[in-house]
Structure 1
């Protein structure tokens, strides 16, 4: 299953723009790719963008949508644009940076792990995964695999991925931007859970009672 042509073009364009902003922030191609950790991160970003083309994710409002939370999409998008540029720029000028190459490589690991955790659930859900909070045709509740442990693994992956990106650039500012993502994502999770509860009733309540929202055993 693949993305629609329009969404596929957007995914590729957004990924390339994200990388271009980071290269610009770091001071150009030579400065960016002179650091092995940054080169690996760039390659991982392109691979993730390519993998995303085959997930089947969509922006369909489906059979029923909670439109009240659409503000979350541009909010997270704006934070994402700042996250693309500012950590790299702060790395270049030495503003609020910490650690060294070991931290950069730790960031690479987190970036890749977070990306895998972000995309894995999207592959599992396929067409049921929408950028909007919506019930899709034939929507079924998934309660096994990673969903048997946490209810929102893709959002956890997004946060880990964002934190990894920040650490690749040793950027305290990037870490702060990652923290700023948490409130809108929590609002999104609450909206999704309310919609799923209204759709699946007692089955979802039982599922929610035995799983964590985001961090196994903690939250």
Structure 2
């Protein structure tokens, strides 16, 4: 499988996963969890979180992995405002799940995901700085997170 085909497959798989998970989420959550403001707030975070995470993944294309030798710096779409939209919107999903499940100890899981993602971001930014130099510095100066 060529890199281009693998990238297309990953993009379609991401969109397909979001297309399957969102309807399941909307169907099952209200049936098995309390219908209260916390659950609806959680759903209100998870749905756009899934959609925007999937959009960010597709926009990133072949540059999805730091190890890619041929990738370019993606600065359009969601990446024109956020350097790490996949991590950012992934947190919407985790926080939404914590709210839906009404389980305060899951806040510890959320905190752990934040720590892991911040460590990963630090590594990614070092690699991007080395690879793209001034172009990445300028991009970093005009974007958030």
TM-score scaled to structure 1, two decimals? 0.52
Q: Which of residues 108, 115, 119 is equivalent to 2:54? A: 119
Q: CA deviation at 1:104?
A: 0.5
Task: Tell me how far apart the structure 1 counterparts of residues 10 and 80 of structure 2 sit (CA, whole Å).
Answer: 26
Deviations 1:73-95 (A, max 9, x none): xxxxxxxxxxxxxxx9xx8xxxx
Paired position in structure 2 for 1:203: 135
Paired position in structure 2 for 1:3: 10
- Does 1:171 find its partner at 2:106? no
Number of equivalenced pairs: 131
Counterpart mapping for 1:11-160 below 5 A: 39-40=28-29, 101-130=36-65, 133-134=66-67, 136-160=68-92
More helix by share: 2
The residue matched to 1:3 in structure 2 has which SS? helix
TM-score scaled to structure 2, two decimals? 0.76
Q: CA deviation at 1:129?
A: 0.9
Q: CA deviation at 1:100?
A: 6.1
Q: Give 5+ residue unaligned stretches, structure 2.
A: 1-7
Q: Is the 8 A contact 1:37 1:168 kept in 2?
A: no
Task: Tell me how far apart the structure 2 counterparts of residues 150 and 104 of structure 1 sit (CA, whole Å).
Answer: 27
Q: CA deviation at 1:112?
A: 1.1
Task: Tell me how far apart the structure 2 counterparts of residues 154 and 41 of structure 1 sit (CA, whole Å).
Answer: 26
Q: CA deviation at 1:144?
A: 2.1
Q: CA deviation at 1:138?
A: 2.6
Q: 1:3 to 1:210 in 2, by over 3 A?
A: closer
Aligned-residue Cα RMSD (Å) equals 3.1
Q: CA deviation at 1:117?
A: 2.1
Task: Tell me how far apart the structure 1 counterparts of residues 76 and 59 of structure 2 sit (CA, whole Å).
Answer: 10
Computing the radius of gyration from Cα coordinates, the structure with the larger value is 1
